[in-house]
Amino acid sequence: MAKGKLYLIPCLLGGEDTSILPDYNKNLLVEISVFAVENLRSARRFLRSVGYSKNFDTEVLFFEFDKHQSSQQFQQVIAALNNGKNVGIISEAGNPCIADPGFELVAKAHRQKIEVVPLVGPSSILLALIASGFNGQNFCFHGYLPIENTDRNKKLKQIENESLKSGSTQIFMETPYRNQKLFEQILQQFQAETKLCVAADITLPTQYISTQSIAAWKKENVNLHKRYVMFVVGK
C-alpha cells in the first residue's frame, strides 16, 4: 500500500480574507480527511472559510496537539499516513511547524520515509523580514522570548549585541496581550541608535510596518496591545 503524504498547510495570519491563499491549496484540501492541528476550533473555522465542505463529525478525523502532550497523537497520525491517508498540518496562524510543535511530526514522517509537502502561504516571519529593510542574507528567528523579566532583558541584550556585532537580522515575537510590555522593554534595553522594525497585523487591513531607531521610536505613540506583531532588529 502506498503511503499518504503529509501536507504543511498555511492558514491566515488573522482576519477573514482567504483571497491571499493560493487556489492550489484550497483545491488540494478535498484530498485530505485527516488533520493534525494546533487548535481544533480555529482549524475548523479556517477550513470552512476556504470552502472545505466535508462533514467534520462523520468524514474528517482531527488530532489536536500541543507542546506538552503530543506524542500519542503523533503516533496515530503516522499510523494514518502509513495506511495511505493524506494528512494536513494546520497551525493556529500562518505556516505550521514554526513556533509550534508540528515540527516533531514532520521529523517522525521523514524517519518513516513519508513524503512531506510544504505549501505556499503567508509567513509573518518572512514578510516582516523583507519589509524591514534589514539584511535578508543572514538572519535568526528566536520565537518567543523568556517570560521572566530578568531573563527577558538578558535575552534582549544578547539579541541586540548579536545584531550589532555580526550585522545579522534578529526576529522574535510575543503573544498579542504581551506585545506592548515587550515593546516598552525593548525601548528601555536597547541603545538609542539600534534599529527596530515593528511589523503588526501583517496582511490585515490594520497592517502597520515601520523601521526606526530606538530614539525615534521613543517619540512615537504606538499601541501594540492584542495585535499580531513581529519584532525585527537589524542594521
Structure confidence by residue, pLDDT tens digits, 58-114: 999 999 986 665 677 888 999 999 999 999 999 999 999 988 888 999 999 999 999
What is the domain partition of the chain in residue ranges?
Answer: 6-118, 124-234
| pLDDT above 90 (res 235) | no
| Orientation angle between helical segments 71-82 and 102-111, nearest 10 degrees | 40
Q: CA 37, 41, 45, 51: dihedral to nearest 10 degrees?
A: 50
CATH code of the domain occupying 124-234: 3.30.950.10
pLDDT of residue 67: 61
CATH architecture of 6-118: 3-Layer(aba) Sandwich (3.40)
Kindly report the average pLDDT of the chain as a whole number: 94
27, burial (CB in 10 Å: exposed 0-12, middle 13-18, buried 19+) = exposed
Q: Which three-class secondary structure state does DSSP give residue 212?
A: strand
